[in-house]
């Protein structure tokens, strides 16, 4: 360490020691210590009712000239996001609502930062279980973790605050917090055709008004004109959505593997065929249970794992190896990737189980019709009911294969095994090669520059390793030749993975899309943000939002409608501003906006009509007709 660096470090330690002493009152004896921020948990009710959600919020009161940060740091802002960790009684659930918009605040060294100051409310919705005992009381706790800064320094802040509420058959509104959450809806007699009044605590919160967040209009709840679906209807939608996944483009590549397996089993006894079907179903269900558990625990969206460039790269490499195996470049029996090859062996129960896992993995980029409605319902349901929805989706996906297994007569009607199967298997490999191409397309929307080139070259290295294995690691080759081939295969595959694995620093910095100069009539898609939506709506401007992701196949299919000349003319005729909310990478603001719309998956397309508070949500699968019908609403 040179002398100047030593002196700098020593000075820093002295300053830190002085600041530490002052914080604990060692440097001042007279002036009372003032907290930089005071946290409190407040609610719209003093007494909650079983099964009836109510609004609550974490109230932060900042001292003069201090500030904290929002849930997500904007680009270029150095700080620490504020985090809330909840501890609730068993069965109670909490759902974070969109936080108020942050604003510019003075930071250290005279710089400008972005965060909260003064008094701010961070809203949530809390739902007691239907089994909550009337007459009891509960304690709700939340730990606030934040970084609180003044113009000179920043300090971590951790505080756990609690609130005790009673439980009764009817909720009791907290009149003292009416200015924060708004007055509850008046209970009035309705005709049988009228909509039921919302329960206490479900009134539109005034938290937004108290803090003046610019994002409030952008996260308005979905229209409640249509009557709510029953839980039985939601389960039916879940099953149908899972069933439709079998014919979606992202699942179709696995169809070759499944059909080949069923045909191979046609000559087996019924017991083995049924076991194959059950193992496949177990693989599908286990995958959906894991995904459902992760989604509930982390409050993540469907397909959120595809927001990771590393996950997408591994998926591309896996499909490449599997495609080369199906194309006949090499055969590795029941080891490693051979778990899938075991589909063609007489005792391939592990292969059927693996095929079920694989079907679920490749199904996650798709949100089929009916499926979006079912997944959106999990946002407001207890964990047990949400898991039942994921179970029905899995059963829908597994049902065709299971049906063939339970009714062997259907299998016997299929062509008998023969030499044609090898040609069929090799032909199906091109579907997997196509999937590799799609995964590379996804990666190009998440990483850029040399990382993209390295990812492509790494797949070439992996393919080289597979070729070496299939050429020289054959049983009739000398043992020395086989061992050298296995070593070279390992080096090529491992080297390829090492060269091509995307790092976190390789993520693409998304910017607003420019106008397509080659097509002057093309729609101009601007980058979505809650603040932009709020500003446009305040200016009485029609706003069309496309919530999309590069890993969502249905989203890519939907884009074809925007090439229709008449449709583009309608967008321009009504001066509609088109915004793209790209969820290819993890984005907390987009996730919250989708949840506020009652959605958990993309695609979601929304039209905000001037003068209408609630947004119009289009069908998951877009057509020129339904988009045109939505835009026609601007003429009324």
For 539-557, how does the pLDDT look when each residue is reduced to its tens digit (9 = 90+)? 999 999 999 887 777 787 7
Residue 43 confidence (pLDDT) above 80: yes
For domain 525-635, the CATH architecture is: 3-Layer(aba) Sandwich (3.40)
Q: List Cα–Cα distances, 123 to 95, 99, 206, 212, in angstroms.
A: 9, 6, 10, 13
Instruction: Using pLDDT thresholds of 50, 70 and 90, give the confidence band for residue 471.
Output: confident
pLDDT, residue 197, reads 62
Burial of 460 (0-12, 13-18, 19+ CB in 10 A): middle
Residue 628 confidence (pLDDT) above 60: yes
What are the boundaries of each domain within the chain? Answer: 37-183+200-213, 231-422, 525-635
The mean pLDDT of 460-476, rounded to a whole number, is 89
pLDDT in tens, 326-337: 788 876 543 433
CA torsion sign for 221, 226, 230, 231 is negative
pLDDT in tens, 58-101: 999 999 888 898 888 776 566 678 999 999 998 899 998 889 88
Q: List Cα–Cα distances, 482 to 324, 339, 472, in angstroms.
A: 19, 21, 6
Residue 249 confidence (pLDDT) above 80: no
Asked if the peptide bond before residue 603 counts as cis, ω within 30 degrees of 0, the response is: yes
pLDDT, residue 503, reads 64
Domain 37-183+200-213 shares a fold with domain 525-635: no
Contact 608, 543 (CB under 8 A): yes
Residue 196 confidence (pLDDT) above 80: no
Per DSSP, the three-state class of 59 is strand
Helix (H) or strand (E) holding 397: helix 383-406
Residue 282 confidence (pLDDT) above 80: yes
| Tokens matching residue 373 | 């409605």
pLDDT, residue 62, reads 92
Of 294, 292, 353, 343, the C-alpha closest to 322 is 343
Alpha-carbon span 278 to 257, nearest angstrom: 16
Residue 180 confidence (pLDDT) above 60: yes
Alpha-carbon span 284 to 396, nearest angstrom: 10
| Tokens matching residue 234 | 């939601």
Phi and psi at residue 569, in whole multiples of 5°? -65, -35
pLDDT, residue 141, reads 94
pLDDT, residue 238, reads 83
Alpha-carbon span 479 to 256, nearest angstrom: 34
Residue 412 confidence (pLDDT) above 80: no
Buried b or exposed e, range 193-212, using 16+ CB within 10 angstroms: eeeeeebbbbbbbbbbebbe
Residues 6+ apart with CB under 8 A from 130: 50, 51
| Tokens matching residue 210 | 């108290």
pTM score:
0.45
Buried b or exposed e, range 574-605, using 16+ CB within 10 angstroms: bebbbbbbbbbbebebbbbbbbbbbbbbbbbb
Find the distance separating the first CA and the last CA of the chain, reported in whole Å: 74
For domain 37-183+200-213, the CATH architecture is: Sandwich (2.60)
Orientation angle between helical segments 349-363 and 252-264, nearest 10 degrees? 160
Strands (E), 230-278: none
The mean pLDDT of 503-511, rounded to a whole number, is 45
pLDDT, residue 583, reads 85
Of 154-168, 433-447, 601-615, minimum mean pLDDT range: 433-447
Of 179-188, 227-236, 490-499, minimum mean pLDDT range: 179-188
């Amino acid at each position: 360490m040179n002398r100047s660096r030593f002196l700098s470090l020593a000075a820093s330690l002295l300053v830190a020691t002085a600041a530490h002493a002052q914080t604990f009152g060692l440097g001042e004896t007279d002036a009372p210590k003032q907290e930089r921020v005071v946290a409190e948990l407040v609610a719209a009710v003093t007494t909650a009712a079983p099964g009836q959600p109510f609004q609550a919020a974490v109230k932060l009161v900042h001292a003069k000239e201090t500030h904290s940060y929002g849930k997500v740091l904007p680009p270029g802002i150095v700080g620490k996001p504020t985090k809330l960790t909840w501890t609730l009684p068993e069965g109670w659930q909490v759902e974070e609502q969109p936080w108020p918009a942050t604003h510019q605040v003075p930071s250290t060294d005279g710089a400008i930062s972005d965060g909260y100051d003064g008094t701010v409310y961070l809203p949530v919705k809390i739902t007691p279980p239907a089994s909550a005992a009337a007459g009891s009381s509960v304690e709700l706790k939340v730990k606030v973790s934040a970084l609180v800064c003044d113009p000179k320094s920043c300090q971590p802040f951790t505080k756990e605050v609690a609130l005790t509420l009673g439980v009764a058959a009817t909720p009791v509104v907290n009149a003292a917090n009416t200015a924060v959450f708004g007055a509850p809806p008046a209970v009035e007699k309705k005709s049988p055709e009228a909509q039921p009044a919302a329960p206490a605590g479900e009134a539109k919160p005034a938290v937004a008004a108290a803090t003046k967040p610019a994002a409030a209009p952008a996260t308005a709840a979905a229209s409640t004109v249509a009557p709510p679906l029953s839980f039985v209807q939601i389960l039916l939608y879940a099953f149908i959505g899972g069933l439709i996944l079998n014919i979606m483009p992202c699942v179709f590549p696995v169809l070759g593997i499944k059909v080949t397996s069923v045909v191979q089993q046609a000559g087996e006894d019924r017991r083995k065929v049924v076991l194959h079907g059950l193992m496949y179903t177990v693989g599908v269900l286990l995958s959906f249970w894991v995904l459902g558990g992760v989604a509930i625990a982390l409050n993540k969206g469907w397909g959120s794992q595809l927001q990771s460039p590393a996950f997408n790269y591994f998926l591309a490499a896996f499909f490449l190896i599997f495609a080369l195996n199906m194309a006949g470049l090499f055969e590795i029996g029941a080891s490693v990737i051979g778990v899938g090859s075991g589909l063609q062996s007489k005792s391939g129960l592990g292969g059927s189980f693996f095929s079920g896992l694989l079907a679920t993995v490749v199904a996650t980029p798709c949100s089929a019709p009916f499926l979006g409605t079912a997944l959106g319902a999990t946002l407001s349901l207890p964990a047990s009911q949400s898991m039942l929805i994921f179970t029905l989706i899995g059963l829908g996906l597994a049902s065709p294969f299971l049906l063939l297994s339970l009714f062997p007569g259907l299998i016997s009607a299929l062509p008998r095994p023969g030499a044609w199967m090898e040609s069929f298997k090799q032909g199906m490999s091109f579907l997997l090669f196509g999937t590799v191409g799609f995964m590379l397309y996804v990666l190009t929307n998440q990483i850029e520059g040399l990382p993209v080139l390295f990812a492509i070259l790494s797949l070439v290295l992996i393919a080289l390793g597979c070729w070496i294995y299939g050429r020289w690691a054959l049983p009739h080759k000398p043992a020395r030749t086989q061992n050298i081939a296995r070593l070279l295969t390992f080096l090529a595959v491992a080297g390829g993975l090492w060269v091509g694995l995307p790092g976190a620093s390789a993520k693409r910095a998304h910017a607003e899309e420019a106008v397509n100069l080659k097509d002057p009539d093309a729609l101009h898609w601007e980058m979505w943000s809650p603040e932009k939506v709020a500003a446009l709506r305040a200016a009485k401007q029609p706003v069309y939002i496309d919530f999309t992701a590069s890993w969502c196949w249905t989203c890519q299919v939907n884009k074809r409608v925007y090439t229709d000349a008449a449709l583009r003319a309608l967008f321009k005729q009504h001066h509609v501003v088109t915004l793209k909310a790209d969820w290819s990478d993890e984005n907390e603001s987009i996730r919250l906006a989708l949840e506020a719309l009652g959605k958990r998956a993309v695609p979601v397309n929304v039209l905000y009509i001037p003068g209408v508070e609630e947004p119009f949500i289009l069908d998951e699968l877009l057509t020129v007709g339904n988009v045109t019908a939505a835009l026609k609403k601007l003429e009324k």
